[in-house]
Structure 1
Amino acid sequence: MLEAALRVIADQGYRALTHRAVAREAGVNLSLTTYYFKDLSQLVAEAFTHYKDALHREAGGYLQAALDYLDRFDKAALADAAVRREIADSLARTMTDYLEHHIREHPQGVAVEMTFFFDLHLDESQRELAHKLRSRFLADFVAVCRRLGTAEPETDAELIMGTLQHLECQAIAVPGQFRPDTISRQLSRLMRALVA
């Protein structure tokens, strides 16, 4: 039922979410959705938490790969401009790989994220769920920026997050327009500017 709720939000928008729509999407009796979830707020909260946990597990592998890669460089190496450009390009490729996988394998998840991040009609508890998801990823990017020694890790992490969200939103708004080579070049320019 949680996956069904996410599909309804992704396909029809938050306002289309009802117990009846979730039951129909899940192929279960309506009484089951009302038995397990006292109201739609609880259903939305549990569905988004379910999605958030799965996303953290998936993205964690990409983050760990980036951190492991950064561990290969000591402070002396990080001081070299050519090495920093190589690192920026490598991290851009890792982010591009993640975006490509996420958009290809979980387009509905991306749509759900966009709903939670940008729908102004969500109630305060649902906004808090979106804030927690974003904060978790932001903390990961701050850690990467600190490891890189960027001038302003928190600001730089915000720039990376905003760019990734924009690219995801663009990819689902215009299907078939995601071009990994173009995305990788854009992310490389951003990362090179941050580590310069």
Structure 2
Amino acid sequence: MTLSAAFECPAKLAGELADSVQYQGRKTSRQGSEQRRLAILDATLRIIVRDGLRGVRHRAVAAEAGVPLSATTYYFKDIRDLITDSFVLFVERSSASLSLLWADVARDFQRLVEPVASDPQVRRQMAERVIALMVAHVEAKAREGNAELLVELAFRQEALTNPTLTPLALSHQQLRYQFAELALRALGSAAPVEDAQVLTTLVLRMEYHALVDGVENLDIEGQRAVLQRFLDLVIRA
């Protein structure tokens, strides 16, 4: 596989993950039932953002979703299934969104892949593009009220003790590694697999600061400088 073709892999993997998720709760066949099930899961995610996992109770979710209490127990036999399926919905949506984003990014990168090895200016241009994408990714999450960041953090924490979610969390995390690895490989990293883990950790650190500091106090330029410093060290040649 050529490097140019390989840039399609993250989008393909993200799409495959979105298509492969498996729900634990009762399956639905009617549109109205499916809409109610999704309303319950969306309500669960809102409660997780607002009150944390401890706030997820059948009665609280039913009130948040505007459905009878019996509806939550009909679709989900217990709280664990309800929490699990809410995170499955998050991964499904997140992966589908990443698939579309990376398919678009791949077109830009494919244009730069051929000359990047021999032209330092093109290499710098690609590095700037990678930084811009990662900063925009964190900024967008932060400006949406941190809801996605909080859900993802809660998802990773729940996956530590919920074996049903563990493989899903690992697959979701692998999407980050895959994109970072291919970008770093194109930039000329001598150790793209290892460097991808460092770069992904730096982005997770940015997301943490977005949560703790708040979007209004988020030092975007400082975070951008950290990413630039790392890439300068990695692609120095």
TM bucket normalised to smaller: 0.7 to 0.9
Q: Cα distance 1:120–1:15, how it changes in 2: closer, same or farther (>3 A)?
A: farther
Using the TM superposition, give the Cα deviation of residue 10 of structure 1 relative to its aligned residue in structure 2, in angstroms.
1.7
Aligned twin of 2:126: 87
**Alpha-carbon distance between aligned partners in 1 of 2:179 and 2:54, rounded to the nearest angstrom:** 32
Is residue 191 from structure 1 mapped to residue 237 from structure 2 by the alignment?
no
Aligned to 2:217, the other structure's residue is in SS state coil
Q: Cα distance 1:154–1:121, how it changes in 2: closer, same or farther (>3 A)?
A: closer
**Alpha-carbon distance between aligned partners in 1 of 2:126 and 2:64, rounded to the nearest angstrom:** 45
Q: Are 1:45 and 1:129, in contact at CA under 8 Å, matched by a contact in 2? A: no
**Post-superposition CA distance 1:69-126 (Å, at most 9, x none):** 2212244432333332222122101111121112212621210111222458632223
For residue 179 of structure 1, what is the amino acid of its counterpart?
D
Task: Say which of 105, 108, 113 aligns to 1:69.
Answer: 108
Instruction: Point out the more displaced range, 10-19 or 158-167.
Output: 10-19
Instruction: Give the alignment of 1:21-170 within 5 angstroms.
Output: 21-105=60-144, 107-118=146-157, 122-170=161-209
Aligned to 1:72, the other structure's residue is in SS state helix
Q: Are 2:113 and 2:186, in contact at CA under 8 Å, matched by a contact in 1? A: no
Q: Cα distance 1:67–1:103, how it changes in 2: closer, same or farther (>3 A)?
A: same
Q: Are 1:89 and 1:192, in contact at CA under 8 Å, matched by a contact in 2? A: no
Using the TM superposition, give the Cα deviation of residue 31 of structure 1 relative to its aligned residue in structure 2, in angstroms.
0.9
Q: CA RMSD in A?
A: 2.2
Using the TM superposition, give the Cα deviation of residue 64 of structure 1 relative to its aligned residue in structure 2, in angstroms.
3.1
- Structure 2 unaligned blocks of 5 or more: 1-39
**Post-superposition CA distance 1:164-183 (Å, at most 9, x none):** 11111211122122233333
Q: Are 2:58 and 2:79, in contact at CA under 8 Å, matched by a contact in 1? A: yes
**Post-superposition CA distance 1:34-82 (Å, at most 9, x none):** 1011122222222112111211232334423432222122444323333
For residue 139 of structure 1, what is the amino acid of its counterpart?
Q
Q: Cα distance 1:191–1:69, how it changes in 2: closer, same or farther (>3 A)?
A: farther
Is residue 182 from structure 1 mapped to residue 209 from structure 2 by the alignment?
no
Q: Cα distance 1:27–1:67, how it changes in 2: closer, same or farther (>3 A)?
A: same
Q: Cα distance 1:143–1:106, how it changes in 2: closer, same or farther (>3 A)?
A: farther
**Alpha-carbon distance between aligned partners in 2 of 1:105 and 1:95, rounded to the nearest angstrom:** 16
**Alpha-carbon distance between aligned partners in 1 of 2:127 and 2:232, rounded to the nearest angstrom:** 5
**Alpha-carbon distance between aligned partners in 1 of 2:211 and 2:135, rounded to the nearest angstrom:** 15
Q: Which has the larger radius of gyration?
A: 2
- Structure 1 unaligned blocks of 5 or more: none
Identity value in percent:
27
Q: Are 2:116 and 2:186, in contact at CA under 8 Å, matched by a contact in 1? A: no
Aligned to 1:136, the other structure's residue is in SS state helix
- The TM-score normalised by the length of structure 1 is 0.87
Instruction: Point out the more displaced range, 115-124 or 96-105.
Output: 115-124
- The TM-score normalised by the length of structure 2 is 0.73
**Post-superposition CA distance 1:128-177 (Å, at most 9, x none):** 33222112222232232333332112112111211111111211122122
